[in-house]
Amino acid sequence: MRFWLTQATTSAPEVDYLILALLLISCAVLALVFGLMLLYMIKYRAGSGVDRGALAEKTWRLETSWTIATLVAFFGLFIWGADLYLRLFQPPPDAMKIYVIGKQWMWKIEHPGGQSEINALHLPIGRPIALVMTSEDVIHDFSVPAFRIKHDVLPGRYETLWFQAVTPGTYHLFCTQLCGTGHAQMTGEIVAMTAPEYQKWLEQQGASETLAVAGKTLFMRNGCSGCHGGNGIGGNQARSTVRAPALAGLYGSAVTLANGSVVTADDRYIRDCILLPATQRVAGYPPVMPSFAGQISEDDLLKIIAYIKSLATEKPS
């Protein structure tokens, strides 16, 4: 039985400081409330002859002072909590991406190198890691108490959760959003390891091909290359019957949509383009792309996105 929890990430101590501050403030307020209550219960009990003096008729001075004191204290706590939250949910750009798929009642993890695991996540310490998460069915929640982080995993979209582990060890992974009968079994372990050990683990897994390579096969098989061209160089009238935007160099760039808005081409955008193309029409191209909703599994989507991402470094011809 332990009453403390390992601080296994860079942000864990920060969360604990905030909780500790809240705890101290609460204890002070509780001491005040219970102390005054007990004091008055004894001092002003009906049988006590203590002099009550004249009753104060005007209360507004006291009222305004404790109202203002409460407001100031609450505002301070708000700023503290909000500042931490901002940092907890804004991943640094150089974070290593690992993909997470939740389904009733298991977690599937896809590493960029093509290694995949079930109900376990091996990761290196000392570098920021961003989990890109989605669900195949209901809402789940990816929660690691030792990391002090959690986020819901929603069907139909990608949510990102990031952290930087510092302490090697094995930690609990819980699904904390009620997801049906096997909710309590939807757990796993997070194995934080040093960088060389992680490298060794990756090699032992012996993945046949990286996510991007697997994605290229899917890119061909699903007919994406027909319009977007082999290697995603873009289609034009000369090469194919349909003119479609180039995908090389797309990832991470700014895209102007037909409705005039400008979006960044991240995982979420590419996913929406594949499943809901009508909502993501790129300016200057006809709305001819069919929706692939329901035809490509979440696993395969991740691979296709990884492939498109791998084209980012190549410039369109």
Partner 1 sequence: MSATTIEPSEYANSYLTDGFTLRSWLLTTDHKRIALLYLGSITLFFFIGGAAAALIRYNLLVPEGMIASAETYNRIFTMHGVVMVWFFLIPAVPVTLGNFVVPLMLGARDLAFPRLNLISWYLFIIAGMIAIYSLFVGGVDTGWTFYTPLATEYSKGHVVATVVAIFIAGFSSIATGLNFIISIHRLRAPGMTWYKMPVFLWSLYATSVILVLATPVLAMTLILLAFERIFHVGVFDPALGGDPLLFQHLFWFYSHPAVYVMILPGFGVVSEIIPAFSRKRIFGYYFIVWCSISIAVISFLVWGHHMFVAGTSIYSAMVFSILSYMVAVPSAIKVFNWIGTMHKGYIRFDAPMLYALGFIGLFTIGGLTGLFLAALGADVHLTQTYFVVAHFHYVMVGGMVSAFFAGLHYWWPKITGRMYPEMWGRLGALIIFIGFNLTFFPQFILGYLGMPRRYHSYPPEFEVLNVLSSAGATILAAAYLLPLAYLTWSLVYGERAPANPWGATGLEWQTQSPPLTENFDETPIVTDPPYNYPPPEVVQHRV
Q: State in angstroms the smallest separation of the CB of 292 from partner 1.
A: 13
Residue 55 sits in the site that holds partner 1 (CB under 8 A): yes
In the bound state with partner 1, the residue whose beta carbon lies nearer, of 8 and 211, is 8
Span interacting with partner 1, options 12-20, 193-201, 207-215, 260-268, rule CB under 8 A: 12-20
Residue 89 sits in the site that holds partner 1 (CB under 8 A): yes
In the bound state with partner 1, the residue whose beta carbon lies nearer, of 44 and 236, is 44
- Write the CB contacts of 250 (distance below 8 Å, at least 6 apart in sequence): 232, 265, 270, 308, 311, 312
In the bound state with partner 1, the residue whose beta carbon lies nearer, of 20 and 283, is 20
Q: How many CB atoms lie within 10 A of CB 81?
A: 14
Which residues, numbered 134-193, are part of the site for partner 1 (CB under 8 A)? Answer: 137-139, 141, 143, 145-146, 148-152, 154-157, 159, 172, 174-185, 187
**Nearest of 129, 121, 131 to residue 190 by alpha carbon:** 121
Q: How far apart are CA 273 and CA 152, in angstroms?
A: 23
In the bound state with partner 1, the residue whose beta carbon lies nearer, of 178 and 288, is 178
Which residue from 13, 24, 75, 200 is in contact with partner 1, where contact means CB under 8 A? 75
Task: Give residue 61's Cα distance to chain centre.
Answer: 47
Q: State in angstroms the smallest separation of the CB of 255 from partner 1.
A: 21
Q: How far apart are CA 140 and CA 106, in angstroms?
A: 10
Span interacting with partner 1, options 85-93, 194-202, 218-226, 238-246, rule CB under 8 A: 85-93
Which residue from 24, 71, 220, 288 is in contact with partner 1, where contact means CB under 8 A? 71
Q: How many CB atoms lie within 10 A of CB 146?
A: 20
Which residue from 30, 120, 195, 220 is in contact with partner 1, where contact means CB under 8 A? 30
Burial bucket for residue 250 (CB in 10 Å: 0-12, 13-18, 19+):
buried
Q: State in angstroms the smallest separation of the CB of 160 from partner 1.
A: 10
Residue 18 sits in the site that holds partner 1 (CB under 8 A): yes
Which residue from 24, 29, 220, 283 is in contact with partner 1, where contact means CB under 8 A? 29
Q: State in angstroms the smallest separation of the CB of 302 from partner 1.
A: 17
Q: State in angstroms the smallest separation of the CB of 98 from partner 1.
A: 19
**Nearest of 118, 116, 32 to residue 70 by alpha carbon:** 32
Q: How far apart are CA 135 and CA 141, in angstroms?
A: 9
Q: What is the DSSP string of 77-139?
A: HHHHHHHHHHHHT---TTPEEEEEEEETTEEEEE-TTS-EEESEEEEESSS-EEEEEEESSS-
Residue 261 sits in the site that holds partner 1 (CB under 8 A): no
Span interacting with partner 1, options 59-67, 122-130, 225-233, 260-268, rule CB under 8 A: 59-67
What end-to-end distance do the CA atoms of the chain give, in Å?
Answer: 63
DSSP 296: S
Q: State in angstroms the smallest separation of the CB of 49 from partner 1.
A: 11
Which residues, numbered 276-315, are part of the site for partner 1 (CB under 8 A)? Answer: 293-294
Q: How many CB atoms lie within 10 A of CB 12?
A: 22
> What b/e readout covers 116-131, taking b as 16+ CB neighbours within 10 angstroms?
bbeeebbbbbeebbbb
Which residues, numbered 110-139, are part of the site for partner 1 (CB under 8 A)? Answer: 137-139
